Structure 1
Amino acid sequence: MKFKEGDKVQFIREGSLIDGVVKEFKDCSPDMWYLIDDKCKDSWIFEGHLIPLTPLPVIPQFVADWIEYCKKHCWGLSEALEDTYENSCMPEEVMDWFEDCRENQELFARAWLDGYEIKEPLYYIKVIDSYFGYINLNLKTGAYTTSTNEEPVGFKTKFTESEIKNMDTRYWAFAVPVEEVEETK
């Protein structure tokens, strides 16, 4: 068995590449058949006609912003990767990201060509220097309270930068990356 329930796959139907999710499978030895949900209809597809869905590259928001800026200005991929005199507006954090790891150039090219997902860091909002000093959002009532950074059912304690700034821009000064807190546990 190549795929399991919940796997994302692709197959060709009527000349088009279709994305779907494995709902169930049937062993009809020597063949394996999979029930695929492709959002339009469920279809039984022979295993040999399925390929795993290649995940989109995950990039930081500032890289996504650079890609969109370059495409808006009708630049090609090679221009977006260069930091020449004509293209000296490349943000420093993008240059640093390219220099940080050689594979980032390839990741950038894949994101440019195939699309991407954005990796947004998460933060706690620690307003009091105490175990109970973290902002918690009650998802049912929308009320904010302070408590621990644990995330019980019905509460949210981890927020993106934009979520924090939408609450109140002053909270950004109290943002603590989730990774930093998790490392100290």
Structure 2
Amino acid sequence: MKFKKGDKVQFIREGSMVEGVVKEVKDCSPDMWYLIDEGCKDSWIFEGHLIPLTPLPVIPQFVADAIDTFKDEGDSLAVAIDYEVYTNELVKELSLDRKMRGWLWEASNQEFFARAWLDGYEVEKEPLYYVRLPLTYWDEDKAELEDVYRHLTWNITSDETDFSGRTDWRKADGWRTRLTEKQIKDIDEAYWGFKVPVEEGEEEE
């Protein structure tokens, strides 16, 4: 069997390329037929007419930001893919990540960049961190100083910051305790020294 349920495939219909997902497989030996979910409708397609859907390149968020920025500026791929373009002045002016120059210096990454520019891309899932700060406060009930931890919280809409004793603060108005490296350093690079990786399966929705 060439394809299985859940595979992304494509096929030509009336001169146009159609994309879909395998929903069901029917063995009509010697032929195999696949029910393809095209979004708006389902169609049974003979195996010989199906082509695997080439996955989009997966790139880091900072590379995706650079692609979007250069396209918004009206620049060409030839300009954006040249690692020498990423001077300190330009990086600061366009609010790009300083890692872009080194990333594009790798020849293999230049191919990924070109494919992402031309065909689209998926963004690599970034690791998340808590910023856990040790704080000391006066406990009125115990009448003594107590050491506790507070977690940096950041509001994605207002750009405010605060501190919470909980790591699962998911207020509806946009507060987050699980942050990316860039988000933490954009708030204050000093906080990076207090990072604690979020364990797998804890990612905030």
**TM-score normalized with structure 1 length:** 0.69
Q: For residue 93 of structure 1, what is the aligned residue in structure 2?
A: 99
RMSD, aligned CA: 3.2
Contact map agreement 1:125 1:134 (CA 8 A) in 2: no
Among the aligned pairs, what percent are the same residue? 54
Deviations 1:139-162 (A, max 9, x none): xxx59xxxxxxxxxxxxx994439
Q: Distance in 1 between matches of 2:64 and 2:18?
A: 25
Report the equivalent of 2:127: 122
Contact 2:10 2:53 in 1 (8 A): yes
In structure 2, the residue matched to 1:154 is none
Closer/same/farther in 2, CA of residues 79 and 177 from structure 1, 3 Å limit? same
The 8 Å contact of residues 84 and 101 in structure 2, kept in 1 or not, is answered as no
Q: Pick the aligned partner of 1:103 from 108, 131, 156.
A: 108
**1:120·1:160 contact (CA, 8 Å) conserved in 2?**
no
Contact 1:122 1:159 (8 Å CA) reproduced: no
Under a length normalisation based on structure 2, what TM-score does the superposition of the two structures give? Answer: 0.63
Deviation at 1:83, TM superposition (A): 4.5
Distance 1:43 1:77 in 2: 38
Q: Distance in 2 between matches of 1:17 and 1:161?
A: 37
CA contact (8 A) 2:25 2:32 kept: yes
Q: Distance in 2 between matches of 1:160 and 1:44?
A: 44
Q: Do the aligned residues in 1 keep the contact of 2:83 with 2:104 (CA within 8 Å)?
A: no
Residue correspondences, number: 155
Is the contact between residue 123 and residue 175 of structure 1 (CA under 8 Å) also seen in structure 2? no
Would you say the 8 A contact 1:19–1:53 is kept in 2? yes
Alpha-carbon distance in structure 1 between the residues aligned to 2:75 and 2:129 = 38
Kindly state the Cα deviation for residue 175 of structure 1 after the two structures are TM-superposed.
Answer: 4.0
Tell me the amino acid that sits aligned with residue 43 of structure 2. S
Instruction: Compare CA radii of gyration and give the structure with the larger one.
Output: 2
Give the letter for the 2:110 counterpart. Q
User: Which ranges of structure 2 fall in alignment gaps of 5 or more residues?
Assistant: 135-147, 149-164, 201-205
Q: Deviations over 1:112-133 (max 9, x none)?
A: 0000111241324253779xx8
Please list, as runs of the form range in 1=range in 2, the aligned pairs for 1:44-83 lying within 5 A after superposition: 44-83=44-83
Matches of 2:38 and 2:179 in 1, distance apart? 31
Question: Structure 1 residues 96 and 46 mapped into 2: Cα distance closer, same or farther (>3 Å)?
Answer: same
Partner deviation per Cα, 1:26-75 (whole Å, 9 max, x = no partner): 11112110001011101000111111111111111211121112212222
The answer for unaligned runs of 5 or more in structure 1 is 144-156
Separation in 1, partners of 2:177, 2:6: 26
Tell me, in whole angstroms, the C-alpha distance in 1 between the residues paired with 2:84 and 2:62. 19
Aligned 8 A contact 1:125 1:135 in 2: yes
Select which of 168, 181, 187 maps to 1:136.
Answer: 168
Give, in whole Å, the separation in 2 of the partners of 1:48 and 1:67: 37
